[in-house]
């Protein structure tokens, strides 16, 4: 079982408009709602790839109930979310159909009480006993200690479970110091962590700070990986235009799937890039079409960097 942790789950709402203009009224052509938050997105992709996956984190209020109701219908996915008093947040993606651009609005999330955080830690310990890998993903809701991910990394490593970290800012800085097996920042998160905007130098710095392996998302330029086995760059067949929401989460799912399938690093990166590109092409945030993904697999280029 793969365990994904989403401390700040969300109900992702995607609106499509013909053209998004400031200070104007818009007619929405389509609305799609689905469970979200980075780890939830990762879990949904892993389940679609045929892996058994368990989701934990927090869920509260009417939004939390809706998320749990929707997760109940996903084959291969087990809901182990911890209930909280505050309402789970919503994220709003507005897709401009003419330009293809997406505007994202992210709410902060519920206030987590100390007792709720303690209940989550107990649940996390229980779930690690049957986990083959764990992904720690996304932002921290109010009330969760800024060093939470560092603590969760150390707990997973003590249990002998490989751990991937995908967050940003101070939680990333502290989490990297706890020595996760893999971190997957995007270019901005990597630059904030290391102070360098040059990806090759920044990935080296991130490894020196404690990460065993670093895979950086570089947008249209694909992925740059620095691992104990070598350094690679993986790029999609062509730049993708569409909704990038969830593309990085699909890349995380590809990396975890490749780890569980014991693939060599170039094949893991190929899977991650193809999933990410297929997600960008999807009309719905965080979704991907299986046929598109399989077609893209053949076009991904991986070279030693």
By annotation, the residues acting in catalysis are 249
**Phi and psi dihedrals of 103, rounded to 5?**
-105, 130
CB 97 within 8 Å of CB 80 = no
The DSSP string of 193-258 is: HHS---HHHHHHHHHHTT-S-EEEE-GGG-EEEEETTEEEEEE-SS---S--TTHHHHHHHHHHHH
The DSSP string of 117-169 is: HHHHHHHHHHHHTT-SEEEEESPPPTTS-TTHHHHHHHHHHHTT--EEEE--H
Please name which of 197, 195, 168 lies closest in space to residue 183, comparing C-alpha atoms: 168
Note the maximum CA span of the chain.
54
CB 123 within 8 Å of CB 129 = no
Distances (CA, A) of 47 to 73, 182, 226: 12, 21, 27
CB 281 within 8 Å of CB 295 = no
Distance in angstroms (rounded) separating the CA atoms of residues 30 and 62: 22
């Amino acid at each position: 079982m793969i365990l994904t942790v989403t401390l700040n789950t969300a109900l992702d709402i995607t609106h499509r408009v013909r053209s998004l203009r400031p200070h104007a009224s818009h007619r929405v052509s389509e609305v799609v709602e689905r469970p979200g938050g980075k780890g939830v997105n990762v879990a949904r992709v892993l389940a679609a790839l045929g892996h058994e996956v368990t989701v934990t984190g927090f869920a509260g209020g009417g939004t939390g109930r809706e998320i749990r109701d929707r997760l109940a219908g996903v084959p291969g996915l087990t809901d182990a979310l911890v209930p909280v008093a505050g309402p789970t947040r919503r994220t709003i993606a507005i897709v401009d159909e003419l330009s293809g651009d997406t505007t994202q609005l992210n709410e902060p999330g519920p206030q987590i009480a100390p007792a709720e955080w303690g209940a989550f830690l107990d649940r996390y310990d229980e779930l690690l006993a049957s986990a083959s890998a764990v992904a720690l993903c996304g932002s921290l809701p109010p009330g969760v200690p800024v060093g939470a991910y560092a603590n969760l990394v150390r707990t997973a490593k003590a249990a002998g479970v490989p751990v991937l970290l995908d967050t940003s800012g101070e939680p990333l800085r502290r989490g990297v110091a706890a020595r996760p097996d893999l971190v997957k920042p995007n270019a901005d998160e990597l630059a904030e962590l290391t102070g360098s905007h040059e990806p090759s130098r920044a990935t080296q710095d991130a490894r020196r700070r404690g990460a065993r392996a670093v895979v950086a998302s570089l947008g249209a330029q694909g992925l740059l990986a620095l691992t104990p086995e070598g350094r690679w760059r993986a790029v999609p067949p062509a730049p993708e235009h569409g909704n990038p929401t969830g593309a990085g989460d699909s890349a995380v799912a590809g990396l975890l799937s490749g780890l569980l399938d014991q693939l060599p690093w170039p094949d893991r990166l190929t899977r991650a890039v193809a999933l990410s590109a297929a997600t960008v092409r999807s009309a719905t945030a965080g979704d991907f079409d299986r046929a598109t993904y399989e077609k893209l697999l053949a076009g991904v280029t991986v070279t030693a960097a």
